A and B are shown apart, each in its own frame.
Chain A
Amino acid sequence: IAGITQAPTSQILAAGRRMTLRCTQDMRHNAMYWYRQDLGLGLRLIHYSNTAGTTGKGEVPDGYSVSRANTDDFPLTLASAVPSQTSVYFCASSENSNTEAFFGQGTRLTVV
């Protein structure tokens, strides 16, 4: 693994189903983030973690949850998917909250 890896790359999900998007980084970055990107809108922060063991809510947290059990992993869970959660999801990490973020390749999620 080099950098930041997301899985799956894409997914079609039935509404009401539970889904976890995985994110792993090997840069030993303290801070990690989950964004969604929708056409015509800027990246919107869903949840973040400034360090292992802590998480915080971003701009659009409803319907999503995260955990940060260790430095490397930051999974995003949709408890009961709805069509409005159709989006491209990007995981990112940074050395700390002051430095630039590095992004994973994204997960394209379609909820039908």
Chain B
Amino acid sequence: SAVISQKPSRDICQRGTSLTIQCQVDSQVTMMFWYRQQPGQSLTLIATANQGSEATYESGFVIDKFPISRPNLTFSTLTVSNMSPEDSSIYLCSSGRIYNEQFFGPGTRLTVL
């Protein structure tokens, strides 16, 4: 299994600002993903973070709003840009080996005022 940490665990931000969330995995993994979970809802995949190349975004999510970096196999960041109250959500990173289960970080609870 993989142990995943995220920073910050929570934040309260003003609209129009940006927040960068960090995700650290304790072992080298092939796949890293970023999900959004709105209050009381299921998880929606934002993008797959690719090491050494641009992230692959899902429908409805764009790089300008959610830029992602993955400089190595164990670390990734997600930035939520130009935030609005609609961006208030829990953001989770996950990792896993191909064909296998995913392990999730503890999440970052974001509130935008």
A and B interact: no
- Using CB atoms and an 8 Å cutoff, list the residues of chain A in contact with chain B: none
- Using CB atoms and an 8 Å cutoff, list the residues of chain B in contact with chain A: none
